[in-house]
Structure 1
Amino acid sequence: MRFKSFCGALLLVLLPSLGNAAPLRIVLTDSNTMPLAHIQDFQLKGGMLFELGNAIAQEMGRKATFITLPRKRIAQALIDGKADLICNQNQAWLVGPFDWSKNFIPHVELLVSNQNQVRPMQMSELSNIPIGTILGFNYVEMRQQLGNQFIRDDSLGPKNNLLKLNAGHVNHIIIPQYILEYQQKLGNLKVKIHPYLVIKDQPAACAVSRSGQIKLADLNRAITNLEKRNKLKPIFERYR
């Protein structure tokens, strides 16, 4: 009886500490739009990154908190340990001393062109032609193909690039497929477009701060466990 009483008392002591695990601090760029993120008053309220972050946090026994920042401040926030991770990234986009998870987030990057222009069949045909891009984003493949003849026309986010395409300010934009298709469903693409060029088809990952509160092995374990129980695929498919 004394042993059972001791175990009961020990459990009561441990339970509060287990329930008070530090929150999983997930940072994302404030230029994100649906279906990735519904941001209102600088707070993430919904979208794919919201569901994904909450699923990962819950699998790790934590609660997710989301921090929205301008793209150029993301890397420093991770380096300083002010955030634990960012998802839907890759090492070419986000340069820094980070640990990287497995690639598991579907990502297809497209070049979309207005039908009032000759359809480009390859990226090399776009030398010295303005292309709608996102401020602070690193377009590795375009720079490799076009070099100094890659002419950027930066906006704060992909939705702004769609507006520029609609208004005729640019005739070509670079946009992720899931954002294009989601905005098309909402009727936010007003012009007819050519069949698009695929710039990159490579799953994205999460970057982990080396000064944060989690370890890469724990994150990868959580991702693998969620995949085994088929918890991630339905999230991605809801927003495609």
Structure 2
Amino acid sequence: MKAVLGGIALALAATSALAEELVVLVDTGTEMPMARFERGRLAAGIHKDIGDALAGALQRQARFLALPRKRLVTALAAGQADVLCSYRQEWLPGPFGWSQPFIPIDEVLIADRGVPAPRAVADVANQPVGTVLGFAHPEMTELLGTGFVREDSPSTEANLRKLAAGRMHYALIGRTFLDYHRKTGDFTLPIHPPLPVRSYMGQCAVSFAGRLPLAEVDRAISRLRKDGRIDAILARYR
């Protein structure tokens, strides 16, 4: 009888522990400062810091599920994870709830000092511009049309290496990525002041099949914003 009761207690404890998790989905193709992976597991970066902070605000334990970009929609829709953050609805088609916007994302155009400083997007018409494969840049397409010549690379870091090697002169990059790689000394090429292209706020996609309702996630985000936690996290990488 004691053995049976003990088994039940263990099962209940395991169920309780599972219920107290917040499973955060992360794209394995993401680079620092957003994410660093070790042996397939998320080890550091903004995604981890925000996931841990969000879990803490929800009084849960964060667990990170790292998957390739092509599997994100299916996994989130199936409830394999609760949230996927720093995305926008137009990037992630699917039956998800969307949190309030709270992660600032600034896209800039950079140019090396070997060419004149672009004063407007139109100045790079018909010139190769470094982009990351699979990422859309609607403002560039709208302004330049067929004059937007993409030079696709597998990652932002690859684009920075191309710039440093003189293989191209222009690239689109998130300001957070640029600031981080300058801070760490990974990117030392002299460039003109970055030209702002667009600014927006990232959100969290919330699975309807997950453990938490959207309203609860939103309340937790509001608390993190109010106490300055989001700003403090981002400041560490600038």
Bucket of the pairwise TM-score, normalised by the shorter protein: 0.7 to 0.9
TM-score by length of 1: 0.86
CA contact under 8 A between 2:104 and 2:200: conserved in structure 1?
Answer: yes
Q: What percentage of aligned pairs have identical amino acids?
A: 37
1:222 equivalent in structure 2: 220
Q: Partners of 2:80 and 2:133 in 1: how far apart?
A: 23
Aligned partner of residue 212 in structure 1, secondary structure: coil
2:189 to 188, 191, 198: 191
Unaligned runs of 5+ in 1: 1-11
| 1:136-175 alignment, distance < 5 Å | 136-175=134-173
2:48 to 47, 50, 74: 50
- AA of the residue aligned to 2:69: R
CA contact under 8 A between 2:179 and 2:237: conserved in structure 1?
Answer: no
Unaligned runs of 5+ in 2: 1-8
In 2 relative to 1, CA 76–149 (structure 1 residues): closer, same or farther, beyond 3 Å? farther
Q: Does 1:239 align with 2:213?
A: no
Once the two structures are TM-superposed, the CA of residue 19 in structure 1 deviates from its matched residue by 4.4
In 2 relative to 1, CA 190–239 (structure 1 residues): closer, same or farther, beyond 3 Å? closer
| 1:101-120 alignment, distance < 5 Å | 101-120=99-118
1:36 equivalent in structure 2: 34
CA contact under 8 A between 2:19 and 2:211: conserved in structure 1?
Answer: no
2:6 equivalent in structure 1: none
CA contact under 8 A between 2:133 and 2:155: conserved in structure 1?
Answer: yes
Q: Does 1:134 align with 2:153?
A: no
- AA of the residue aligned to 1:127: A
**Which has the higher mean CA deviation after the structures are superposed, 24-33 or 161-170?**
24-33
Once the two structures are TM-superposed, the CA of residue 198 in structure 1 deviates from its matched residue by 0.6
**Which has the higher mean CA deviation after the structures are superposed, 29-38 or 41-50?**
29-38
Deviations 1:169-210 (CA, angstroms, capped at 9, x unpaired): 221111111110110122222321111111112221111122
Aligned partner of residue 205 in structure 2, secondary structure: strand
Aligned partner of residue 201 in structure 2, secondary structure: coil
How many residue pairs get matched? 228
Aligned partner of residue 128 in structure 1, secondary structure: coil
Aligned partner of residue 52 in structure 1, secondary structure: helix
Q: Partners of 2:204 and 2:67 in 1: how far apart?
A: 16
In 2 relative to 1, CA 43–19 (structure 1 residues): closer, same or farther, beyond 3 Å? closer
CA contact under 8 A between 2:128 and 2:170: conserved in structure 1?
Answer: yes
1:3 equivalent in structure 2: none
The alignment yields a C-alpha RMSD, in angstroms, of: 2.2
In 2 relative to 1, CA 74–150 (structure 1 residues): closer, same or farther, beyond 3 Å? farther
Once the two structures are TM-superposed, the CA of residue 230 in structure 1 deviates from its matched residue by 2.9
TM-score by length of 2: 0.87
In 2 relative to 1, CA 172–217 (structure 1 residues): closer, same or farther, beyond 3 Å? same
CA contact under 8 A between 1:77 and 1:83: conserved in structure 2?
Answer: yes
Q: Partners of 2:191 and 2:199 in 1: how far apart?
A: 20
